Structure 1
Amino acid sequence: MQKLIIFLLFVFSAPSIFGQNLFKEAYFVNKKQDTIHGLIKDYDWNFNPNYFIFKKDENSVEQKIFPESVLLFEIFNASKYKSSLVQIDVSEHRIEKLSKEKPANFESKHLFLKTLVEGEANLYKFSSDKLIRYFIETSESGIEQLVYKKYVNNNSEILENNRFRQQLLLKLDCENLKKYSLKNIKYRQKTLVKLVSNYNSCFEVSNKNYVAKKAKKAFFVSINPGVQMASLSTESGRNVKSKTEFDAEYTFRLGLEVEYILPFNNKKWSLIFEPAYQYYSSRVSVEPDFLDSYREVDYQSIELNFGVRYYMFLNKSQPIFINLGLSQDIDFNSEITGNIEAILDIKSALNPLVGAGFKFNETMSLELRYQINRDLLTKYVSRNSDYRSLALIFSYRFM
């Protein structure tokens, strides 16, 4: 039975995670300034990509294309990146690694810069796990990084190099922009996008904003009733082992799930947290039978399930999903008793969970969830147990 369950979960998980990012209509411009139309795999990058994957049509061979080979690429209705050899400040912003020098520490790098705004002035962004940098380009000058840097002086005080304000003052000369508005401007995407867009409105050219509008809602709440089949085995004794196998029992469970959709990778990832009530009760006879010896367990608890969810879209409203996480259990005076051996208090530890399911629509889904290796006897040195459950969970999203 266990092998069958693991196999079914494997089947659900088999599609490659990366294969679920769809190829979308797109184009790139090569060094000869030829525009090549085709399909580009859309990862909805959280950080700027080092390359993109292109194919001419659905049946063509995939190609990895690096920034040195092209001028730009665009995925229609999604994002646009410009390839450029730039001077970028690589100074650390972590407090423990701040430089004692005020000037930027520039290095030459060939990068894909994400287009935020296009017009008389263009605004670009580069982000990685360590850096966030913004770049400005006007009709009169090439691409230049807007400089903002934190540094430490000789008195260990944290100071800021806000040279970007002076750069903007010199480059964005327009009567509609008040000089004082740049004095306290922050080095933030929202602020810089608004400023450059306002500057572009001074001219009779179109202003195009590539900043994707965030989803109106990222948090969702669902009620999760379900039926679970659970089993328990216990083992005691250091020298002479004694093992009890309790029967598999069907019980009801009820959870309340909160899900947060992460704003990248086409919203395929989310964080989940679910408090859920569950119970398990079983009684078994143990040798010697003529004494009517038995052991029984009465176990009820609140599970605190938390983890990550990955969606694989069959279409816009009916994705398959996979859950991976951990479960922390809070029991209600649960114990293992009987007319032989000791009464044992149940105290459990963290255990892993894995699940796979299918969303019927925006509000309803069905999940098969498997939890393993929950030890209910953690307070005893010479005893251990293995509690496992397989649950079929129906979920209804109401918020």
Structure 2
Amino acid sequence: MMVHLNALSQIKFEKGYIIDNHDEKITCYIKNNDWENNPDTFQYRFGMSGELLLGTLSEIKEFGIDSGATFIAADVPIDYAIADLKPTSADKNPVWVQQRLFLRVVVNGLASLYEYKRNQFTQFYLRRASGDIIPLIHKNYLGEQGKVETNLAYRQQLWNELSCKSLGREYIARLRYKKEDLTMCFLKYSACKDSSFVLHPSTKRTGQFNMMLHVGIDYTRYKPYVGIPIGMNHSLKHNLTFRFGAGLEYIAPFNKGKWALLLEPTYQHYKVKSSSASVPNKPIFWAIEAPIGIRYYLFLNDNLKGFLNVHYVAKIYARQFKADWFGTDHIYLGNNLAIGSGITKNIFSAEFRYTADRKVFV
């Protein structure tokens, strides 16, 4: 049983719209995957209980979620090598290929800013008032003596395209190829031209930390091996022991909080029940462990979610209660793996966890 506090939202269908190839805007419900990367497809339906449909680049010109992200389909030039941190080419100019993509709308105005993101790769685009979409150039390449240099042509592009007295050369020269910098630049341009604009919700997210308290019951059995002290070579029964501890959970800032990293320092003691009358029932040793794991959440409704996780269980410290079992109070536990599944409702969680065998060394 675990008690923890978090505030994750589930992936669900939210009200939005699509624009098809006939330029017809249709209200629908779109599955909000909280896209970290630009999607190639998306799921939607007409009505919450309607048929599940797949939106594709060939059929949809634009889609958006109310108070959420908006994407447009466009045929644009792209060069996936421009962001390489270790480039192999000495060509400072991008090698463009034409591709149809869903671009995320960042700023929509007299001049619009679009973004395409795929893992570590990010490309920004500028849409002119005429409707033309051009890529903003930022490319790493090999300079003299193999040193990595960067083509910052996007600054000259912005100077040429966003001509306005409030956007001086010094300001443009300081612009980083970052969403926050470029967004502010486009907003300044719209304000300078006294033009209306729409700033779409920021997709920049941060992770979330949760603290947990947990108690549990272990169903364990000690199996003696060759080399243990005389008197312990007998059958030891399965038995129940208790564990307790605290934990730290980090919710990753993408995919609606479905992935998490876990650290769960735990105290537990191992107690055996002997089938031999000459050996009393008593705890053998206690240990402090630090399971490190990955968790995947499955949202069932607004208050209930399931989860699956896998842990690497690392021993921090272990001691024997008395030295009369092994002849020493020092004991060494091997590390092992554990898998588990459970459910979380509000601030309470319950989990079943299977832990692989581990060796005990004295």
Between stretches 265-274 and 146-155, larger displacement belongs to: 265-274
How do 1:108-147 residues align onto structure 2 when only pairs under 5 Å count? 108-147=98-137
Q: Is the 8 A contact 1:256 1:275 kept in 2?
A: yes
The 3-state SS of whatever aligns with 1:49 is coil
How do 1:251-270 residues align onto structure 2 when only pairs under 5 Å count? 251=242, 253-270=243-260
Between stretches 324-333 and 73-82, larger displacement belongs to: 324-333
Counterpart of 1:236 (choices 225, 230, 235) is: 225
In the TM superposition, residue 279 of structure 1 has moved relative to its aligned partner by 1.6
Q: Which amino acid counterpart does residue 336 of structure 2 have in structure 1?
A: L
Q: Which residue of 2 aligns with 1:387?
A: none
Q: Does 1:189 align with 2:174?
A: no
CA distance in 2, matches of 1:101, 1:230: 63
Residues 148 and 285 (structure 1), Cα distance of their counterparts in 2 relative to 1, 3 Å cut: same
- Greater relative CO, 1 or 2 (CA 8 Å, sep 6+): 2
The 3-state SS of whatever aligns with 2:81 is coil
| Per-residue CA distance 1:184-242 (angstroms, 9 max, x = gap) | 211011111111111111234332221337668722323x141313312315249xxx6
Q: Which residue of 1 aligns with 2:150?
A: 160
CA distance in 1, matches of 2:206, 2:154: 32
RMSD of aligned Cα (Å)? 2.8
Deviating 4+ runs (over 4 angstroms): 213-217, 293-297, 335-344
CA distance in 1, matches of 2:176, 2:71: 24
Q: Which amino acid counterpart does residue 304 of structure 2 have in structure 1?
A: P
| Per-residue CA distance 1:254-275 (angstroms, 9 max, x = gap) | 3222222222112232222121
Q: TM-score, structure 2 length as denominator?
A: 0.86
Q: Which residue of 2 aligns with 1:3?
A: none
The 3-state SS of whatever aligns with 1:206 is coil
CA distance in 2, matches of 1:343, 1:174: 78
Counterpart of 2:190 (choices 174, 178, 200) is: 200
Q: Which residue of 1 aligns with 2:274?
A: 284
How do 1:1-399 residues align onto structure 2 when only pairs under 5 Å count? 21-91=11-81, 93-212=83-202, 218-222=208-212, 224-237=213-226, 244-251=235-242, 253-286=243-276, 292-293=278-279, 298-316=284-302, 318-326=303-311, 327-334=313-320, 345-360=331-346, 364-377=347-360, 379=361
How many residues end up aligned between the 2 structures?
347
CA distance in 2, matches of 1:347, 1:71: 60
Q: Is the 8 A contact 1:274 1:306 kept in 2?
A: yes
Q: Which residue of 2 aligns with 1:383?
A: none
In the TM superposition, residue 365 of structure 1 has moved relative to its aligned partner by 1.5
Q: Which residue of 2 aligns with 1:394?
A: none
Residues 203 and 153 (structure 1), Cα distance of their counterparts in 2 relative to 1, 3 Å cut: closer
In the TM superposition, residue 62 of structure 1 has moved relative to its aligned partner by 1.8
CA distance in 1, matches of 2:187, 2:121: 24
In the TM superposition, residue 24 of structure 1 has moved relative to its aligned partner by 1.4
CA distance in 2, matches of 1:354, 1:109: 43
Residues 267 and 341 (structure 1), Cα distance of their counterparts in 2 relative to 1, 3 Å cut: closer
Q: Which residue of 1 aligns with 2:5?
A: none
Q: Which residue of 2 aligns with 1:386?
A: none
Residues 196 and 44 (structure 1), Cα distance of their counterparts in 2 relative to 1, 3 Å cut: same
In the TM superposition, residue 97 of structure 1 has moved relative to its aligned partner by 4.1
Q: Which residue of 2 aligns with 1:8?
A: none
The 3-state SS of whatever aligns with 1:234 is coil
Q: Which amino acid counterpart does residue 239 of structure 2 have in structure 1?
A: A
The 3-state SS of whatever aligns with 2:47 is coil
Q: Which amino acid counterpart does residue 335 of structure 2 have in structure 1?
A: A
The 3-state SS of whatever aligns with 1:81 is strand
